[in-house]
Amino acid sequence: MVRAVWAVLRMVSCQGAAALNLNVSGSVIDAASSFRSVHVPFRAAHSKVRHLSSAVRMPEITTDHLDKKQVQLLSEMCILIDENDSKIGADSKKNCHLNSNIDKGLLHRAFSVFIFNSEEKLLLQQRSDAKITFPGCFTNTCCSHPLHTDSELEEKEAIGVRRAAQRRLEAELGIPMAQVTPDEMTYLTRIHYKAQSDGVWGEHEIDYILFMQKDVELNPDPNEIKSHCYVSKEELKEMLKKAKKEEVQITPWFSLIAETFLFTWWDNLHDLKQFMDHNKIHRM
Ligand SMILES: *[C@@H]1O[C@H](CO)[C@@H](O)[C@H](O)[C@H]1NC(C)=O
Ligand SMILES: *[C@@H]1O[C@H](CO)[C@@H](O)[C@H](O)[C@H]1NC(C)=O
């Protein structure tokens, strides 16, 4: 039963059906009318998805039905932070991404990398169907978390976060680490956001935005990535329109960044310094 519910939730999480009745164990849950409180201001485009997700009562947390490689990654230790990005501890990737903990305020440090090629096209990835959160969604080049290790905890000039980005660009997209060194990444600013993926899993992070322009070699891991593509500004605008019509699915953080800062930053790839703001945390 749990497995069947999960399948439906997964579909809903990225597809955002308008209204849904789930008949779970003989009881009908009206997703549209019974959703709990909405925790943070969030774009209208995604509120529907979040309402649907939060409507369903918490199923037992079992990972049996999930991809084994992705489940292994759930034991990695993320960096717990307070609302001002001061580190306060460590917890597993699993605990950091459970809505039951997020609802209590659990927050971790993360990053989002945007790589542009020499034609100024942005590299997008489509998350694999094996991903536990936001499977099948298109998103920016790479999004993940620094780990609670000495090397990735180091905060001076966000070097720990940039090292984590280098590690994940290799792991997900197969970009040789020598082609994406931390000093080549521009750390712009931080974004604090929260979003549910489905009834069980979600995100609540302070996200370091890292930009980089370089032609890189790619060798994506199919367990992480379903497809990838380079898009121009016009092509991305088309994709965002399609996402609004639910013809394509994109992650909530990418949608937020695309609706706010992305195009301005993109217009100024050669002069990003003016947008570097390491004091403010943008609450979205
Ligand atoms: C829900 O399932 C129960 C048991 O299978 C069934 O008796 C009931 O009619 C169903 N309700 C709806 C609205 O489909
Ligand atoms: C975060 O910073 C603000 C502004 O300086 C302060 O009011 C707040 O108490 C801080 N939060 C924590 C958890 O320290």
> What confidence tens digit (pLDDT) does each residue in 217-272 have?
999 999 999 999 999 999 999 999 999 999 999 999 999 999 999 999 999 999 99
Rounded to a whole number of angstroms, the distance between the first and last alpha carbons of the chain is 35
- Report the percentage of the chain scoring pLDDT > 90: 72
Please list, residue by residue across 203-220, b when 16 or more beta carbons sit within 10 angstroms of its beta carbon and e when fewer do: bbbbbbbbbbbeebebeb
Mean of all residue pLDDT scores within the chain: 83
Q: Tell me if 37 CB under 6 Å of ligand 1.
A: no
What local confidence, expressed as pLDDT, does residue 60 receive?
Answer: 59
User: Mean pLDDT throughout 160-167?
Assistant: 98
Residue 23 CA to ligand 1 center (angstroms) comes to: 6
Q: Does 195 score more than 50 pLDDT?
A: yes
Q: What is the pLDDT confidence band of residue 129, given thresholds at 50, 70 and 90? A: very high
Residue 69 CA to ligand 2 center (angstroms) comes to: 38
Residue 84 CA to ligand 2 center (angstroms) comes to: 6
What local confidence, expressed as pLDDT, does residue 30 receive?
Answer: 35
The residue whose CA has the least distance to atom 14 of ligand 1 is 23
Q: Which residue has tokens 């940039």?
A: 162
Ligand nearest to the CA of residue 28, numbered in listed order: 1
Question: Best substitution site from 80, 82, 83 to test ligand 2's pocket, by max atoms within 8 Å of Cβ?
Answer: 83
Q: Which residue has tokens 């849950």?
A: 29
Question: Best substitution site from 5, 25, 28 to test ligand 1's pocket, by max atoms within 8 Å of Cβ?
Answer: 28
